[in-house]
């Protein structure tokens, strides 16, 4: 099973949040989303600053990035031509 690392991205800085062995990449994506949601709640000073959670593999290759601020649900629907 692969090992994944999670970083808090603040501007150009990457602050390690730990790592874990997970069954597959999809589960790691879900864990990154969950961590972003938790940080949004417990670290309100990070809101509206463009912060994100970054997921990397054992070779430090970025696999996924998710914003701390939730994506607005009011975004307009796309129209087809």
Task: List the domain boundaries for the chain.
Answer: 3-67
CA dist., res. 3 & res. 5, Å (int): 7
Q: Which token pair is 1?
A: 């099973």
DSSP string, 8-49: EEETTEEEEEEEEE-S-HHHHHHHHHHHHHHHHHH-GGGTTT
Average pLDDT over residues 30-37: 94
DSSP string, 4-19: EEEEEEETTEEEEEEE
pLDDT at 78 over 70: no
What pLDDT band is residue 70 in, cutting at 50, 70 and 90?
Answer: confident
């Amino acid at each position: 099973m692969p090992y994944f690392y999670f970083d808090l991205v603040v501007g150009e800085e990457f602050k390690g949040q730990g790592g874990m062995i997970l069954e597959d990449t999809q589960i790691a994506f879900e864990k990154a989303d969950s961590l972003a949601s938790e940080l949004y709640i417990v670290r309100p000073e990070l809101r509206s600053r463009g912060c994100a959670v970054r997921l990397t593999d054992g070779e430090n290759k970025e696999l996924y990035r998710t914003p701390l601020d939730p994506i607005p649900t009011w975004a307009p629907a796309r129209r087809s031509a």
